[in-house]
């Protein structure tokens, strides 16, 4: 059965007090929108339509960055959640199969929950996702009898008796695309807010003799982000879940509460992650690799047997093959380190290819930027780069070659050669003592003056 997902993301998010559209604020190094889209994609939908409004261009960019197949429609002005869904009608009204509405600012709906809603569709024409709220606040209330849903009442329109109900509306709603758009065309805006409410659908369905039902999920899944405080709460909730999952999956976390994951972090079984490690977007770590404390990783891949850190920074495009060692105060960007490469200390490797079993001495820098353009450094297999070598790119060092410590390498180094790119040492016998004696005399003369 085909499924279409509609993600509502037009709202301004006034209470974020921000110039950035709400759904572009980050949790786990990813915009809120990507979390909702992750849930959407778990259903392997035929179509995903994102309804944009405030910051439409940026929101659309974020949507297609997640999945090129996302289609975006602009809702302007924003006249309510039903009005928002109706923007997708031109794209989806002829779709057979199911339509599910998600909110861009509700990041934690689980795939299993959405599956349960699709199953409940066998019993009801319209299915709404509800939850028992500890503090029901201003949520819409579900007036239900067991699984049967009579109607949804928005807080603003609710009587005191209805406000006492603790079963609340998450906003997620499912129906056949046909029924959804048919009912939406009947929604009116005769309510306190003067908006077209998606929450009118259950009542409209029942008026046509169709049934509406509730599926209940845990309140933690429906955590919506409306304020910076809730954004921080969402981050904390995500991290504690991600840590528990990593441990469950056989990853050793020495100090779990100090490790921060991204939405798309992948870590293999038997990897070891030390304390205070931060994962930015797009990091994959294979089984059996080790990341020691205080590392900052983003956009990189660490293979089996590799050891990274402590205090290493891997930036986008850092590819570490098996058994690579990257030590303290090393930064690596857009570089491929083949098997067994060692970069132990105080080094910058950017825009480089390094062949297997090459050793990079302390303080080495690939000088990759001439102020205008970036250039690549290529180093062969089993090479030995002496400490404090400056590799002025574009430059190539051949297999089994060696650079002398302190060299500034501006010309290619042939395979098996030694490159000396530094001033020749000259020793002046006795000069140190003579110099010191003179300086001390000058200082003593000044003291007397």
Q: Can you tell me which of 47, 83, 292, 313 binds ligand UD1, judged by CB under 6 A?
A: 83
Site string for ligand UD1, 171-200 (x = CB under 6 A): x-------------------------xxx-
Q: Cβ of residue 128: shortest distance to Ca ion, in angstroms? A: 15
Query: Pairing state of beta strands 126-132 and 167-176?
Result: antiparallel
Q: Cβ distance 140 to 169 under 8 Å?
A: yes
Nearer to Ca ion, 224 or 414 (CB): 224
Q: Cβ of residue 182: shortest distance to ligand UD1, in angstroms? A: 18
- Binding partner at 198 among Ca ion, ligand UD1, none, C-beta below 5 to 8 Å by kind: ligand UD1
Q: Can you tell me which of 78, 113, 389, 396 binds ligand UD1, judged by CB under 6 A?
A: 78
Q: Can you tell me which of 3, 10, 59, 259 binds ligand UD1, judged by CB under 6 A?
A: 10
The alpha-helical segments, DSSP class H, found in 160-290 are 160-163, 177-184, 201-207, 228-248
Instruction: Say whether the peptide bond before residue 393 is cis (omega within 30 degrees of 0).
Output: no
Which H, E and C letters describe 261-298, residue by residue? CCCCCEECCCCEECCCCEECCCCEECCCCEECCCCEEC
Nearer to ligand UD1, 165 or 417 (CB): 165
* Alpha carbon of residue 70 to chain centroid: 18
**Helices first, then strands: H and E counts in the chain:** 10, 33
Could you say whether residue 80 binds ligand UD1 (CB under 6 A)? yes
- Comparing CA positions, the residue from 78, 83, 75, 80 lying closest to residue 193 is 80
Site for ligand UD1 in 197-256 (CB under 6 A): 197-199, 224
Nearer to ligand UD1, 171 or 421 (CB): 171
Could you say whether residue 45 binds ligand UD1 (CB under 6 A)? no
Q: Can you tell me which of 27, 43, 49, 51 binds ligand UD1, judged by CB under 6 A?
A: 51
Cα–Cα distance measured from residue 267 to residue 253, given in angstroms and rounded to the nearest whole number: 11
Nearer to Ca ion, 224 or 317 (CB): 224
Helix (H, G, I), strand (E, B) or coil at 35: helix
Q: What tokens were used for 371?
A: 């102020």
Q: Cβ of residue 195: shortest distance to ligand UD1, in angstroms? A: 6
Q: Cβ of residue 171: shortest distance to Ca ion, in angstroms? A: 7
- Binding partner at 199 among Ca ion, ligand UD1, none, C-beta below 5 to 8 Å by kind: ligand UD1
Query: Would you call 251 exposed, middle or buried from its count of C-beta atoms within 10 A (0-12, 13-18, 19+)?
Result: buried
Nearer to Ca ion, 224 or 406 (CB): 224
Which residues have a Cβ under 8 Å from the Cβ of 246 and sit 6 or more positions away? 253, 256, 259, 261, 267, 273
Q: Cβ of residue 222: shortest distance to ligand UD1, in angstroms? A: 7
Q: Can you tell me which of 45, 55, 104, 130 binds ligand UD1, judged by CB under 6 A?
A: 104
- Binding partner at 140 among Ca ion, ligand UD1, none, C-beta below 5 to 8 Å by kind: ligand UD1
Helix (H, G, I), strand (E, B) or coil at 61: helix
Nearer to Ca ion, 224 or 363 (CB): 224
Instruction: Say whether the peptide bond before residue 429 is cis (omega within 30 degrees of 0).
Output: no
# chain residues binding ligand UD1, by CB under 6 A: 28
The alpha-helical segments, DSSP class H, found in 46-88 are 56-66, 81-86
Task: Give the footprint of Ca ion on this chain (CB under 5 A).
Answer: 224
Site for ligand UD1 in 128-157 (CB under 6 A): 139-140, 152, 154
302-319 exposure pattern, b = at least 16 Cβ within 10 A, e = fewer: bbebbbbbbebbbbebbb
Q: Is 345 a catalytic residue?
A: yes
Cα dihedral 313, 315, 317, 321, rounded to 10, equals: 10
Q: Cβ of residue 202: shortest distance to ligand UD1, in angstroms? A: 11
Nearer to ligand UD1, 59 or 242 (CB): 59
- Options 150, 266, 296, 345, the catalytic residue: 345
Q: Cβ of residue 104: shortest distance to ligand UD1, in angstroms? A: 5
Q: Can you tell me which of 3, 8, 402, 409 binds ligand UD1, judged by CB under 6 A?
A: 8
Nearer to ligand UD1, 12 or 244 (CB): 12
135-149 exposure pattern, b = at least 16 Cβ within 10 A, e = fewer: ebeebbbbbbeeeeb
- Provide the CB-side half-sphere exposure for 181 (13 A, CA): 18
Q: Can you tell me which of 46, 79, 93, 118 binds ligand UD1, judged by CB under 6 A?
A: 79
Q: Can you tell me which of 105, 290, 323, 388 binds ligand UD1, judged by CB under 6 A?
A: 105
Q: Cβ of residue 143: shortest distance to ligand UD1, in angstroms? A: 12
Residues lying near ligand UD1 in the complex (CB under 6 A): 8-11, 51, 53, 75, 78-81, 83-84, 103-105, 139-140, 152, 154, 168-171, 197-199, 224
| Residues marked as catalytic | 345
């Amino acid at each position: 059965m085909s499924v279409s997902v509609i993600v509502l993301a037009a709202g301004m998010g006034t209470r974020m007090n921000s110039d950035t559209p709400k759904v572009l604020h980050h949790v786990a190094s990813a915009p809120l929108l990507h979390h909702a889209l992750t849930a959407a994609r778990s259903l392997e939908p035929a179509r995903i339509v994102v309804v944009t409004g405030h910051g439409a261009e940026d929101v659309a960019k974020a949507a297609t960055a997640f999945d090129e197949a996302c289609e975006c429609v602009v809702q302007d002005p924003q006249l309510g959640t039903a009005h928002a869904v109706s923007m997708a009608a031109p794209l989806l009204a002829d779709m057979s199969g199911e339509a599910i509405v998600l909110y861009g600012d509700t990041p934690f709906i689980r795939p299993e929950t959405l599956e349960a809603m699709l199953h409940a569709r066998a019993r009801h024409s319209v299915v709404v996702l509800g939850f028992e709220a500890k503090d029901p606040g201003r949520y819409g209330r579900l007036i239900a009898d067991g699984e049967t849903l009579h109607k949804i009442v928005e807080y603003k329109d609710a009587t005191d008796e209805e406000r006492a109900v603790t079963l609340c509306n998450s906003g997620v709603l499912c129906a056949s695309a046909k029924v959804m758009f048919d009912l939406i065309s009947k929604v009116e805006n005769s309510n306190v807010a003067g908006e077209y409410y998606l929450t009118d659908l259950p009542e409209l369905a029942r008026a046509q003799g169709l049934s509406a039902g509730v599926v209940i999920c845990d309140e933690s899944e429906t955590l919506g982000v409306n304020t910076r405080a809730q954004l921080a709460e969402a981050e904390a909730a995500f991290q504690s879940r991600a840590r528990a999952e990593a441990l469950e999956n056989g990853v050793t976390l020495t100090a779990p509460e100090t490790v921060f994951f991204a939405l798309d972090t992948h870590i293999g079984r038997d990897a070891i992650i030390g304390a205070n490690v931060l994962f930015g977007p797009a990091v994959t770590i294979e089984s059996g690799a080790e990341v020691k404390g205080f590392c900052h990783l983003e956009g990189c891949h660490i293979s089996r047997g590799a050891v990274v850190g402590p205090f290493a920074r891997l930036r986008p495009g850092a590819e570490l093959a098996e058994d690579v060692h990257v030590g303290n105060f090393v930064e690596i960007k857009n570089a491929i380190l083949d098997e067994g490469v060692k970069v132990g200390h105080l080094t910058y490797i950017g825009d480089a290819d390094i062949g297997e079993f090459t050793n990079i001495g302390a303080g080495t820098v690939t000088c990759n930027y001439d102020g205008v353009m970036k250039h690549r450094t290529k180093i062969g297999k089993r090479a030995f780069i002496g400490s404090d070598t400056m590799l002025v790119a574009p430059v190539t060092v051949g297999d089994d070659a060696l650079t002398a410590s302190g060299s500034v390498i501006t010309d290619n180094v042939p395979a098996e050669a030694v490159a000396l790119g530094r001033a020749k040492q000259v020793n002046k016998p006795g000069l140190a003592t003579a110099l010191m004696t003179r300086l001390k005399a000058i200082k003593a003369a000044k003291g007397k003056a």
